[in-house]
Chains A and B, each alone.
Chain A
């Protein structure tokens, strides 16, 4: 479980996050949704420690993450897997080397054991026989799946995904969403996904938090989405002609 309490963050006196309070539950796919520029990526980066918060508390289980020492924070980071918007695979390393990287850095496994683990993770995300290709030689969807394989290589307890569907076609997006949900349930981990894709919201949103102009405006499940009477939230959810049509039918 991850809990954030009273999070404030600003850049050059421009407040990006204002008093964010939320709990992200274990074994569930927790979604942070909102328009571009609403502050959801900043919130995610604060949670993983890439940005320091101006005020507030971030708890990983019962550990106050943003107040502990660098070494203690490092121990928690080893339990974190993260899927970046761009995949963030290492360009100069092959698919196999990318997935093996966390094993090289943080385990004392033999080469054979590491290869076995890499092949297991790649098989889990349906990437087979691409071990020796470089990221530039595989498609965007495959890069995302390799990034997921790298993120789960160390059996993380927390998985963060920053706009995992960006740049992907709808069908591949659904595959990535399903993969994230399956992995969350299979390994019983706390997963937090940043997205503005309504397919993801309705497909995998066990818990949804809506961020509007740096503030939390709505919280609920995918079942609650259609019943919401929050104007800003409805403006976001029913922005497209398709979602308006669906609402009309329902």
Chain B
């Protein structure tokens, strides 16, 4: 019963979030700030993780496919498809659920317990829209760039470590990257990224917005935000994969 109550409250909050903004210019400025805070500040962590994951996928594929019957381009092909189909959207999504999700939940939760949200409401400001809408727009706009960055850095990371360790040559790796390439996979990754960005932002904001109590409850809301966002990402990953690739 509680789950239905939560889902209902979540959609009611979304209804408040997507009402007409009071002053569009203020929302525009807030969105730019959020792009910096939630997007630009995530570039380094996404790049580091993508480089290492690309490298590890390459090495693992190479060490597990030593049969002479397997084509030499297989390492590059496996790295490309792993990064494109799953890693850059889903795994980066899970990482962002941890970084961005906890940030959003704790920021909004702290504003709730310190009565800053009450102050907005008393002034006649739609606090849900004011606090959450710019974050949704910022992540939906910027996360696809993070995904593209992750794809590029992951493939480069795989190539550099593969060549450095001698498990694959540059030519073999590039052949694998180019072999039977399906451009729709990029669209698929970007669609997933946009959906995951929406889920991370709204679920985390929902957790923060409904905090009751003090700093302990803010911490708990932050944890719940990460867990709920991660579960939602995995569930929607399954649904979207079935819908888009079947």
Contacts and interface: CB of A to CB of B under 8 A. Distances in A.
A105 B125 contact: yes
A77 B122 contact: yes
B118 interface: yes
A196 B226 CA distance: 41
A74 B122 contact: no
Interface stretch (A79-87, A124-132, A184-192, A210-218): A79-87
Contacts of A112: none
B243 interface: no
B26 interface: yes
B121 A74 contact: no
Interface in B116-146: 116, 118-119, 121-125
A45 B122 CA distance: 9
B128 to A, nearest CB: 13
A102 B123 contact: yes
B123 A84 contact: no
Contact of A86 (B114, B122, B123, B125): B114
A88 B119 CA distance: 7
A104 interface: yes
Contacts of A78: 123-124
A11 B124 CA distance: 24
Interface centre among B23, B114, B123 (most CB of A within 10 A): B123
Interface string B17-28: 000001100100
B150 interface: no
A91 B115 contact: no
A105 B23 contact: yes
B110 interface: yes
Contacts of A48: 122
Contacts of B124: 73-75, 77-78, 80, 106
Interface of B: 22-23, 26, 110-111, 114-116, 118-119, 121-125
Across the A-B interface, the 5 shortest Cβ-Cβ residue pairs:
A77-B124, A88-B115, A88-B119, A74-B124, A84-B115
